[in-house]
């Protein structure tokens, strides 16, 4: 992971450095700012330094928690930590929900192959894959508004990440947490669930048709144990590959989801950084996103050996 992060950080820095002029917004202001102001801002953003020197200053600063200067004088490191805590709630819950629903759909589809239940699950999965995240999020907001109006109180929150909201009792806090997380989590997990369930169904069907599963049936094991202990456990390994590879997609979709539901998480930080041409904010976001994706793949690699006894990592 360390050499991959170094290579990724250098490529990100080069691409972002050549993507545009960070001072373009200031230069187009009317009336334009004095040349002294532009020069001072260029020095602050290290634009007067060669590209490799700027990269080294940024990279070496990361080891002491300095993510570089911001146009709007924000502490990028502290802001990333705060926003990451907000986004990880949505990401973790969305991935877990999508994975559990995909596993359940895979088992039903594989065990009841070509039945009416399998056809319905396949149709729903394709429908979920076809729905853009922003469209689904908007429809969920409309549905939530109607539900709240029918109930006469706010059960589901259509905007905000819960920051600053208080509840008087533990039960009210639970309802508040559910109300805030429900809509964004569903919007984020639906498309991933559809994709993963299709892969999981095929993998489980292959596993159930293998020789060792036929042997398990011949030994008199119950069908439930054959499917869950032998077939499902083996089929989860290729499914984890798809989940790990889809981490980047879910991370990108979380930006859209947070924007629609007005969460002040990593997605909002990225959008604001792009709009303000805040180069080091965008670089910090990309660095954290790259690290998250690599951690997903690392966890998947470790779980391979846990799920499949034929795989062992040795020196």
- pLDDT of 47-103, one tens digit each? 999 999 999 999 999 999 999 999 888 999 999 999 999 999 999 999 999 999 999
Half-sphere exposure of 80 (CA within 13 A, CB side): 22
Radius of gyration of the chain (CA): 24
Q: What is the pLDDT of residue 247?
A: 84
Residue 153 DSSP code: S
pLDDT band at 20 (very low <50, low <70, confident <90, very high): confident
Distance from C-alpha of 190 to C-alpha of 132, rounded to nearest angstrom = 10
Distance from C-alpha of 277 to C-alpha of 294, rounded to nearest angstrom = 27
Domain ranges within the chain, ordered by starting residue: 2-62, 76-307
pLDDT band at 302 (very low <50, low <70, confident <90, very high): confident
| Residues in Cβ contact with 308 at an 8 Å cutoff, skipping those fewer than 6 apart | 233, 234, 237
Q: What is the pLDDT of residue 14?
A: 95
Q: Is the pLDDT of residue 267 over 60?
A: yes
Q: What is the pLDDT of residue 253?
A: 93
How far is residue 68 CA from its own chain's centroid? 25
Distance from C-alpha of 67 to C-alpha of 183, rounded to nearest angstrom = 33
Topology classification of domain 76-307:
MetI-like fold (1.10.3720)
Residue 113 DSSP code: T
Token pair listed for 266: 């990593």
Distance from C-alpha of 192 to C-alpha of 199, rounded to nearest angstrom = 11
Of the candidates 273, 308, 303, the one whose C-alpha atom is nearest the C-alpha of residue 288 is: 273
Mean pLDDT of the chain: 91
Q: What is the pLDDT of residue 152?
A: 92
Q: What is the pLDDT of residue 252?
A: 92
CA distances from 83 to 14, 54, 163, 258 (A): 25, 26, 11, 11
Q: What is the pLDDT of residue 313?
A: 60
Q: What is the pLDDT of residue 33?
A: 86
Q: What is the pLDDT of residue 240?
A: 87
Q: Is the pLDDT of residue 309 over 70?
A: no
User: What are residue 127's phi and psi, to 5 degrees?
Assistant: -65, -40
- pLDDT of 21-33, one tens digit each? 888 888 888 888 8
Of the candidates 85, 269, 89, the one whose C-alpha atom is nearest the C-alpha of residue 177 is: 89
Token pair listed for 128: 């979920």
Token pair listed for 210: 């293998």
**Alpha-helical runs (H) found in 18-162:** 24-27, 35-44, 51-62, 76-111, 116-130, 133-151
- The pLDDT of 2-11, averaged and rounded, is 93
- The pLDDT of 261-275, averaged and rounded, is 93
Angle at which helix 279-307 crosses helix 2-17, to 10 degrees, equals 150
| Residues in Cβ contact with 105 at an 8 Å cutoff, skipping those fewer than 6 apart | 121, 125, 193, 197, 200, 201
Distance from C-alpha of 14 to C-alpha of 201, rounded to nearest angstrom = 42
- pLDDT of 120-152, one tens digit each? 999 999 999 999 999 999 999 999 999 999 999
Residue 110 DSSP code: H
* Structural contact between residues 179 and 154, judged by C-beta atoms closer than 8 angstroms: yes
Angle at which helix 247-260 crosses helix 279-307, to 10 degrees, equals 130
* Structural contact between residues 131 and 190, judged by C-beta atoms closer than 8 angstroms: yes
Token pair listed for 227: 């499917």
* Structural contact between residues 54 and 17, judged by C-beta atoms closer than 8 angstroms: yes
Better-scored residue on pLDDT, 241 or 66: 66
Say if pTM beats, i.e. exceeds, 0.85: yes
- pLDDT of 177-226, one tens digit each? 999 999 999 999 999 999 999 999 999 999 999 898 889 889 998 999 99
């Amino acid at each position: 992971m360390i050499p991959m992060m170094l290579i990724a950080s250098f490529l990100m820095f080069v691409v972002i450095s050549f993507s545009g002029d960070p001072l373009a917004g200031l230069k187009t202001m009317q009336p334009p700012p004095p040349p002294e102001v532009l020069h001072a801002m260029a020095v602050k953003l290290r634009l007067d330094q060669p590209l490799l020197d700027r990269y080294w200053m940024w990279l070496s600063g990361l080891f002491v928690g300095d993510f570089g200067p911001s146009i709007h004088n924000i502490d990028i490191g502290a802001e990333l930590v705060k926003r990451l805590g907000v986004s990880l709630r949505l990401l973790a819950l969305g991935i877990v929900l999508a994975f559990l629903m995909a596993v359940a759909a895979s088992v039903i589809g594989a065990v009841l192959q070509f039945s009416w239940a399998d056809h319905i699950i396949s149709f729903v999965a394709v429908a979920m894959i076809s729905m853009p995240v922003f469209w689904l999020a908007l429809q969920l907001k409309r549905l939530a508004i109607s539900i709240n109006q029918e109930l006469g109180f706010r059960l589901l929150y259509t905007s905000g990440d819960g920051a600053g909201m208080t509840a008087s009792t533990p039960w009210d806090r639970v309802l508040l947490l559910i109300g805030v997380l429900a809509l964004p989590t569903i919007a984020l997990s639906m498309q991933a669930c559809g994709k993963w369930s299709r892969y999981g169904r095929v993998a489980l069907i292959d596993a159930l048709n293998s020789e060792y599963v036929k042997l398990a049936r011949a030994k008199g094991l119950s069908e439930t144990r054959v499917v869950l202990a032998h077939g499902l456990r083996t089929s989860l390994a290729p499914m984890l590959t798809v989940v790990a590879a889809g981490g980047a997609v879910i991370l990108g979709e979380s930006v859209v989801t947070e924007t629609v539901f007005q969460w002040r998480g990593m997605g909002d930080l990225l959008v604001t950084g792009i709009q303000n041409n805040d180069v080091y904010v965008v670089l910090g976001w990309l660095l954290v996103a790259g690290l998250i994706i690599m951690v997903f793949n690392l966890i998947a690699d470790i779980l391979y050996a846990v799920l499949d006894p034929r795989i062992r990592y040795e020196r």
